[in-house]
Amino acid sequence: MVCIAAFIILGLVGVFVAIVSLFKREVGRAYLKLMKKSFGCVSKKVRLQKCDTNFKDDVKNTLLRKVVLKHPSWLRPLSALIEVLSVVIVIVFAWAVLTSIKSLLALWSLGTCNVDRPASCTLSSEACSLGDDDASKSLPEKFVRWFTEWGDIVAAVPDRVKSWSAEEFFLEPTVFVDPALLDADVSSPAADAPFALDILDPGCSACMMSFRNQLSSGFFSTHQTALLIYPIELEDGSYKFPNSGLFARYLYATALLDEGETAENQTHYSLKLLNRIFTEKTAEGIIYQSYFNSLDATEAKAELKSWLRDFGATEEELKTISQLEKSDEVKSLLSEVKALATEKVHIKGIPTLLYDNKKHLGLYDAD
């Protein structure tokens, strides 16, 4: 292992030696001689041949010759220590190479170099991770997860090359984004405009920024965009953002209220609710999403009813919506959303967008 570890170290310092050799050519010549000898030793190891013992001895002698002259008794333990450190260096290097390869494959197939926590990958678009934070897992769990992530990456390769048709994943009732309902100066998408699907969590800040970017860039005017509201659910059944589940139930309840109604009689409360939490602020200038996330369940429910009153909801409609949000129909809808998002679209983070026949992980870039 000593010769392999020496080869790794020599390879890492090669850049610095190249710079130094511009001023001191003898350093470069000595390095190349040593590197050639090291490479010959490693190539023999790869071919399962015996490595030149003189190279290993040269490495040890270089490291120990000054120590041996003063403390001869240290030779054996230090020699053993070098062997152990060599094994550690080779293992760490192999792990680093495999991790780099895994991260690059994940970035290509999943759009993020970190499978469990897309938000921690600076190379991918900002997104909210699914599930618990990795810091809450024990070391054995992290070790096992490191290997199982390879399966996730390989399984995602077909998703990377397939053509995604957004309308295949629409659920009834379908909530479409009509920007003209939010701003009279903006046009609605044309009847033949391409379809798009936004998978969003109302409590996720990346979803908020993505929705804003799509709104400001005119995306909603060029694409018939359907919304799939998926509150991120943790392993214990709770939600990553405490009030996301409540918001999703109210949104689908208001969507059911409009189901079967003519275009003139539809309330569009569902779209107005999402637009408020993503784009508007309180009287004190606090972003509604931050404010809503800070409320307890009772306060959040009262806040949603207050918003609906602002949008013109009658007490009779509020009563109907309250009944619907607790209904089996809405619960079934949320179960369908979860199954569709995780099992069919295979989301790894939120937001996930389907448009132009591709799957896009992370917030929509207005540029």
3-state helix, strand, coil in the chain (%, to 5): 60, 10, 30
What average pLDDT does this structure show over 27-43?
A: 59
* More confident call, 140 vs 119: 140
Q: How far apart are CA 320 and CA 255, in angstroms?
A: 12
Q: Where do the CATH 3.40.30.10 domains begin and end in the chain?
A: 164-361
Q: How far apart are CA 328 and CA 336, in angstroms?
A: 12
Looking at residue 353, its pLDDT comes to 93
Q: Considering the entire predicted model, what is its pTM?
A: 0.71
What average pLDDT does this structure show over 237-246?
A: 91
> Spelled out in words, what is the top-level CATH class assigned to the domain 164-361?
alpha beta
Q: What is the DSSP letter of 100?
A: H
What average pLDDT does this structure show over 52-68?
A: 55
The CA-based diameter of the chain, rounded to the nearest angstrom, is 96
* More confident call, 127 vs 323: 323
Looking at residue 244, its pLDDT comes to 95
The encoded tokens of residue 199 equal 């998978």
Instruction: Evaluate if residue 63 carries a pLDDT over 60.
Output: no
Find how far residue 74's CA is from the centre of its chain: 51
Q: For the CA atoms of 272, 278, 282, 286, what is the dihedral angle to 10 degrees?
A: 180
- Which residues are bridge partners to 354 per DSSP? 197, 359
DSSP string, 18-37: HHHHTT-HHHHHHHHHHHHH
Looking at residue 12, its pLDDT comes to 52
Kindly indicate the confidence band of residue 249, based on its pLDDT and cuts at 50, 70 and 90.
very high
Kindly indicate the confidence band of residue 18, based on its pLDDT and cuts at 50, 70 and 90.
low
Of 9-18, 83-92, 294-303, which gets the smallest average pLDDT? 9-18
Question: At how many degrees (to 10) do helices 2-12 and 14-21 cross?
Answer: 50
What average pLDDT does this structure show over 40-53?
A: 58
C-alpha triplet 27, 33, 36: angle, nearest 5°? 135
What average pLDDT does this structure show over 97-116?
A: 73
Looking at residue 282, its pLDDT comes to 93
Count helices and strands in the chain by DSSP H and E runs? 14, 7
Cis peptide before 72 (omega within 30 of 0): no
